[in-house]
Amino acid sequence: MHRAGRKIREWREAQSPPLSAEEFGARFGMPEPWPSRTVYGWETKGKIPRPAVQKRLAELGICDPPDWLEDQDGTHEPPAKVDVHSMKTSEFPFHSIHRHGFVRVATSTPRVRTADVAFNTAAVLEQARTAHDSHVDLVVYPELCVSSYALDDLHLQSALLDAVEDALGEIAAATAAITPVLLVGAPLRRNGRVYNCALAVAGGRILGAVPKSFLPNYREYYEKRWFADGRRIQGQEIAIGGAKVPFGTDLLFAASNLTGFIFHMEICEDFWAPIPPSTYGALAGATILTNLSASNVTIGKSDERHLLARAQSSRAAAAYVYSASGHGESTTDLAWDGQGMTYELGDLLAESERFGLNPELCIADVDIDRILGDRMRMQTFNDAAEFAGRPEDRFRTISFEHRPVSSDIGLIRPVRRFPFVPNRLHKLHEDCYEAFNIQVDGLMRRIEATHAKSLVIGISGGLDSTHALIVAARTCDRMGLPRSFIRGYTMPGFGTSEGTKSNAWKLMEAVGITGQEIDIKPAANRMLQDIGHAFADGHPVYDTTFENVQAGLRTDYLFRLAGQHGGFVLGTGDLSELALGWCTYGVGDQMSHYGVNSGVPKTLIQYLIRWAERTNQFDPATDAVLEAILDTEISPELVPGGAEGKVQSTEETVGPYELNDFFLHHIIRFGQRPSKVAFMAWHAWRDAGAGLWPAEFPEMKKNEYDLATIRFWLEKFLQRFFGFSQFKRSAMPNGPKVSSGGALSPRGDWRAPSDAVADVWLKELRDNVPGG
């Protein structure tokens, strides 16, 4: 590496305060600012500038021309070609959002004054500096924000167009000293035409300009009077302030050092087209689709924008960032509400205040990993790209170096503590009804197909059998069958408590099914004696064999009873237990004729039981039992209680189900790295007083967990899920998928080898999450 690079770095770091590469280039670059990538090229890549720059640096007393030829040690060997980039994603610390594939975006509603280019430019830069202070990576401004939108024939005035071009040079120069990429709107001239353009500006330069494809020319719109459309412009350049800039509708912009940070720009009406340009941008590889919009407001138009943004983000498997013009635009004939919003895969992350009088940044952290993970799983996306002629082959990708801060800047996005639980307050009843009735409908069809004369179910007084029973009861109601069609059996063993046994009987009686009790202890004692187990000789040995003898006997009884009564065994095991392997294989609760709960995780079962109680799906007597069961410790009750009456606790062994379900969702739905799952869980669970909880969630059950606890239980989850429990899932009975978060059937969402190991996931966790 040459001596000049070392001298430049030492010189700027010795200033008071030290100068960043951006500040150094902006302050001393002549005749134009030196972008940060250029400065870093001199300092770390051994690049040599043109003679005029060498002379400028010598005049400043920083380094002399011979320094460019000498190695740092004073030798004259030619510098080695070293490919050194700025900090890559994997080099960010754990608490940085960029380490985990997030990009911070913002919509901007700046101040605006009609045709006042200087005022509008100052407003754009004011918001840009605020975005920089908020550690934003990408800012999307409204359409034609530099000139203002509602100008009519003023768009064709040379004085205004000259002022816009000068303003763009000012904005570009200002970006040398700030982090965000700015997407601004401006009218530009080329070959005797004026184009309505979106420009990407970063690092002291204009990265590229995209012309609007579809010009509205109906009702209140008259854009074809002033602008030429850019639908067919590809592979071109445009002159802005004397510099040549990539120009066309074939542009994508990609950060060279942040994997997946690739964005596309379209403008207002493009959004309303039957095939928006952003569709091709997404198929070409863009993960963030942006829209610089003016879009005057009328009654109901906000709903329409939401509809389009939500649909496009979902259909294109992307984030969609939309920014509309606000107060200050001309109201000669129209009005403006300044709506900004960010959607990701159909989920609304953030929305700005509408009709606000003050400038606003609406900030959200977009999960690029989640987007790419969804695309990998959805082969339709790849098929569509191929069918469209592989847009990635004809798009130009403009690369830029992005330098976000590497410190902990928080996480600005909703992270659901309970990702399997419905969270749309305005549709809460509808979502719970839908989840419940998916199970009901699946069970109805199985009864019809088998011509069953009964349903046989083991009733323990715990959550899973309770939920399976109320689903079965509602199924009978729907089919016009008496609830006595259900044959419930409570089978107390060595660890069964009086409380759960009592709840089991109360539930069977309240629901009105055929109930019976079978004490399995005599049969269990005989089996333990036959196999020579120490417990049969009076020793308190409560090992897995001791537990599985009881679980196996219960299932054996149920299968024989089903045969005796012409029915089938209704499985009660849930999705969470299948994920953890917390079930007895083959002869135990892993096996049934139909696993009605197999697509429902524990947290959703708890919530659906609460919903059934709160919405009076059953009578008051049933509701009272449901409430008592919800308050009972989750336990297999296979081991006798301790001296103080303490019952066996499932969650003390496998971890809190609320954490396990969080882990499960992010790992099976999007294939997230364990370190990222830990990062998101930490943000979701570290403070019980922050964020949103499901509606009517009990205050006393609002828990919080520190990072060390999350890491501990995540490691246990990975060991159980990847390390040894797949063979149980590979042989699981039929059962309906309930949540889009996923299921574990080998015939559906999850197909995996039974003899894989967990080493890769455990190593990733241990290497990348502090606290081990």
Residue that has been written with the tokens 């590497």 in this structure: 406
Distances in Å between the Cα of 495 and the Cα atoms of 590, 632, 721 are 20, 15, 27
The pLDDT of residue 81 is 31
Report, in angstroms and rounded to the nearest whole number, the Rg of the chain calculated over CA atoms: 32
Round to the nearest angstrom and report the end-to-end CA distance of the chain: 39
212 carries an active-site annotation: yes
Report the mean per-residue pLDDT for the chain.
Answer: 91
**Torsion 551-552-555-556 (CA) sign:** negative
**Which runs of consecutive H residues, i.e. helices, occur in 134-190?**
158-174
Q: What is the pLDDT of residues 60-94, one digit of tens each?
A: 889 887 787 766 555 444 333 323 235 677 788 99
Best CA proximity match to 361, nearest among 703, 33, 124, 25 = 124
pLDDT of 171 > 70? The answer is yes
Distance CA 722, CA 730 (A): 13
Distance CA(729)–CA(758), nearest Å, equals 16
- Collect contacts of 522-525 with beta carbons under 8 A, ≥24 apart: 523/553, 524/493, 524/494, 524/549, 524/550, 524/553
Residue type at position 590: Q
Q: Which of 591, 595, 544 is nearest to 743 (CA)?
A: 595
pLDDT for the residue 76:
43
Q: What is the pLDDT of residue 95?
A: 93
192-235 residue pLDDT tens? 999 999 999 999 999 999 999 999 888 878 888 999 999 999 99
Asked if 134 and 361 touch (Cβ cutoff 8 Å), the reply is yes
What's the rounded mean pLDDT across residues 602-612? Answer: 92
| CB of 199 closer than 8 Å to CB of 186 | yes
CA 705 to chain CA centroid, nearest Å:
21
Residues 284-338 have pLDDT tens digits of 999 999 999 998 888 888 899 999 999 999 999 999 999 998 887 878 887 788 8
Provide CB contacts within 8 A for 505, sequence distance 6+. 490, 515, 517
Catalytic residue selected from 22, 143, 269, 360: 143
The answer to whether the peptide bond before residue 17 is cis (omega within 30 degrees of 0) is yes
Query: Is residue 145 among the annotated active site residues?
Result: no
Residue 427's pLDDT is what? Answer: 80
- pLDDT, position 749: 87
Single out the catalytic residue among 63, 165, 212, 223.
212
Residue with the larger pLDDT of the pair 185 and 49: 185
Q: Between 147 and 696, where is the model more confident?
A: 147
**Residue ranges of E strands in 171-304:** 181-190, 193-202, 205-211, 236-240, 243-247, 251-255, 262-267, 288-292
Cα gap 357→72, rounded to integer Å: 56
268 is catalytic: yes
User: Mean per-residue pLDDT for 140-168?
Assistant: 93
Q: Looking at residue 72, what is its pLDDT?
A: 55
Paired residues of 290 in beta bridges = 265, 321
Token pair of 174 as six digits: 């200002």
CA-CA distance, 494 to 481, in Å (whole number)?
Answer: 35
Could you list the beta-strand ranges (E) of 441-557. Answer: 454-458, 486-490, 514-517
Cβ–Cβ < 8 Å for 526, 496: no
- Six token digits for residue 559: 């299968």
Catalytic residue among 268, 362, 432, 583: 268
DSSP letter assigned to residue 59: H
- Cα–Cα distance, 663 to 716 (Å, whole number): 11
* Residue 279 CB-density burial (10 A; 0-12 exposed, 13-18 middle, 19+ buried): buried
pLDDT of residue 27: 86
Instruction: State residue 643's pLDDT score.
Output: 56
